[in-house]
Amino acid sequence: MRNLWTKAGVLGSMSAAFGSMLWSQKQAESEQVASGCTAAQTSPSSPYKLKLVQVLFRHGARTPLKSIPGVTEVQWSPTLLEPPAHTHIDYEVTDLHGGPRPPSPVEDSYRKNVLNGGSFPGQLTTLGMQQLYELGKKLRRRYVEETQFLSSTFTPAEVYVRSTNIVRTIESAKCLVAGLFLQKQTETVPIFTTGAESEILYPNYHACKLLKVLVSHRWAESSTLPDIAADMQSIKKALGIAAHQHMDFILIRDDMVARETHGLRCPSVLETWRTKVEQRAVDMIYHVYAQDSSTETLQLCVGPLLHSLIANIDEKLEGTSPDRKLFLYSAHDTTLIPCLMALGIYDMKWPPFAADITLELHQHRETNKPFVKVSYVGKDQLLPGCSGVYCPLEEFKKALSAHSIHPEAYHSLCNSKEGLAEP
């Protein structure tokens, strides 16, 4: 899709359709490669029997969160956000107990600003909806058509859908379910979410005081690292932006990728910076989450989420949730990056839209011993500390033990006076 960068005037629904076509072609090619091994791994002749699937995924393509200061904006028309008919399902957003949807201060903050063209920042686009629909279809092929693991129609007892309380992740979850079950449902699809004060599906700086202290320090530090600071000075000069104007590579990348994905115009001067922007954005976020001698930052970022994923496995093995077969978690790039780091499989690349981390629980047919298989964007991963791709559960738990944390211990650590007193 790099050739889209220099094509001017490709706006509106035509560009979205073109971007969708290119994306679908790439998706189809990758799935042809991946599907051949999936069926073999989960066939009746396999020594492993699939018991539970958990999918943590990033939302689809969206409008930028902010525009690059001083760079000509493109038209983010509301027509780029129209839902395709095949993504419609009957769904309801509730809190974790089935009550009314909580307030969403994060979403409210987006709605205070309007992008050039009339849409809001951070909104799922038509292309993004299609990406999640395609991810749902991929999961359907794997777990409905090839293995008959899931029913062909949505059933609440079988499938649990959880999302952050932000419109783009809620809509992404809806589109994935539409693709997974081809809009077939006997009941309304509940999408569970929670208030900002108790969210564990992203690093929660507002609810965890210690995490805010740690991350704020490392975030400020990341912009002053010699290579990052020098490159930022150069790109500002190339764009004609004043040296004192605040900007960082993650912001630049966000706007550039949003334009690129939708086939929208971008200043040609940025084309020569594309690879460097990507590298420096990753360098920055890695510095924010990276560990030196301590595991504390990652533990506070995703520890409660990892604990929840392990708890789901334990409950399945104990038989306390016999009907549950699939957990879907709709989240963000800032969820996947620290999760990949905690798993020891981060590839130093920014997770693409609709990227997924999938955890499969298997039992050996002869020994009944449990194994966990992890994949990232469709590719099986060998975790550090695991003796094989099918990782014995005890090895999997040990591999995550440094970062998984019980909710009570998490809250205690977040508000510890000793931790908050550290520089």
| DSSP H helices in 122-208 | 126-140, 167-181
Question: Does residue 244 carry a catalytic annotation?
Answer: no
Distance CA 408, CA 370 (A): 27
| Radius of gyration in angstroms for the set of CA atoms belonging to the chain, rounded to a whole number | 22
Asked whether 57 and 330 are in contact (CB, 8 A), the reply is: yes
Distance of CA 218 to the CA centre of its chain: 22
Question: 165 with 390: CB under 8 angstroms?
Answer: no
Any idea which residue has 């506070």 for tokens? 300
> Is residue 59 flagged as an active site residue?
yes
CA distance 13 to 5: 17
Taking Cα atoms as reference points, which of 278, 280, 332 lies closest to residue 301? 332
Distance (Å, whole) CA 236 – CA 242: 7
3-state secondary structure of 388: coil
Strands, E assignment, 84-238: 91-94, 159-163, 189-192
* Sequence-ordered list of residues with C-beta below 8 angstroms from that of 124, at least 6 positions apart, any chain: 59, 60, 61, 62, 81, 167, 168, 171, 172
Q: Which helix (H) or strand (E) holds 38?
A: helix 12-42
Which tokens go with 174? 């809806």
- Is residue 142 classed as helix, strand or coil in its secondary structure? helix
Give the Cα separation of 296 and 192 in Å (integer): 28
Contacts of 287 (CB under 8 A, 6+ apart): 218, 221, 222, 225
Active-site residue identified among 86, 248, 287, 333: 333
- Among candidate residues 59, 307, 332, 403, the one labeled active-site is 59
Half-sphere exposure of residue 8, counting CA atoms within 13 Å on the CB side? 4
Residues annotated as catalytic (active site), given as ranges: 59, 333
